[in-house]
Structure 1
Amino acid sequence: MGGESRYEAYEADLWERLARLLPSAVAGENFRDCRATGSQEAGLWILIRQLIEHRVPISDRTRAEIEVLAEQWGERLARHDEIVSCEQDSDVEPSIRLLPDESSSPVDPGRLGITDSNLTGLLVVPWLECLRCGRVLDRVHVMEPWGDLRYLADYYTVRRHTAPDVEPEVFDGSDLHSAFELLLTCT
């Protein structure tokens, strides 16, 4: 791997797994080419279009991985509704899920028992949940003066909604992969 970070290795593996979901070799190759040329945003568009148009069933974990990939490349807002609308693979037991929009309203960190001073004045948006252990991955945003959340998250937290007295792990906005990795490790 010669100098490749864990995240880069994970992302390369993820793109390969996602390419294999696509209904044709040409679509898979076009998707891979987007990553190779630094056009990840276009690749996400190709992936999601193909999944929807061909009604390719995906697991909840794959849906979460696509959502995290879209967040990593600044495409989550543009692609979220499409990702949610992808066909559900009913043969796979749910393990991780995107929280429904009605459960993802921004809240003050204190309402979730989060006391980290770095998050004071910010808003927490519950995002992904591990159904086995109760961990939740949240996006943490600044509220813009005009009333919308800042486009990109400033932090991510991983907390157990089943143990609100335990302080969550806080990750810098550039460390999304580590937060997602922690969400996926059930104890």
Structure 2
Amino acid sequence: LPPPLPQVVNLERVQALQAWVNSTNTKLTQVNGQRKYGGPPEVWDGPPPGARCEVFISQIPRDVYEDLLIPLFSSVGALWEFRLMMNFSGQNRGFAYAKYGTAAIANDAIHLLHGYPLGPGARLSVRCSIEKRHLCIQNLPASTRQEELLQGWTKMMSAYLKGHK
């Protein structure tokens, strides 16, 4: 069995995180239940990362923060972005996402860091992240039939794909 989750924030770990942020001049931004680091690296030259450039990290001990995770995941290659999911008490939620510039670097992170020990009885799980893609179609007449929708969609996608060969 995994160790029980701590119910309170480990102040020593929070202080270590703050000391790391101050000493490295790292900027972390809290947005919608996640703490974000990055965007394009300073030395970035090229398009934004495409598909399969992001890894999903789970089994993170609740009192582990960016001061340990960002250097670890940066050791594989330059991070485009790192997002640690947080709860309202200040603990992490046990998972994060690291985005790299290429799918090859993300794949290296999976091979090098999956199973990485991070404390007694804790080993990271690092897998390819499947980014969510949503399509929202609104304001259709109530009389629209599924066949009409599929025909319109097929026609639109054919035209799109012709222009992107």
> TM-score normalized by structure 1?
0.24
Point out which structure has higher relative CO (alpha carbons under 8 A, 6+ apart): 2
More strand by share: 2
Higher helix share: 1
Larger Rg: 2
Name the TM-score, length of structure 2 as normaliser.
0.26
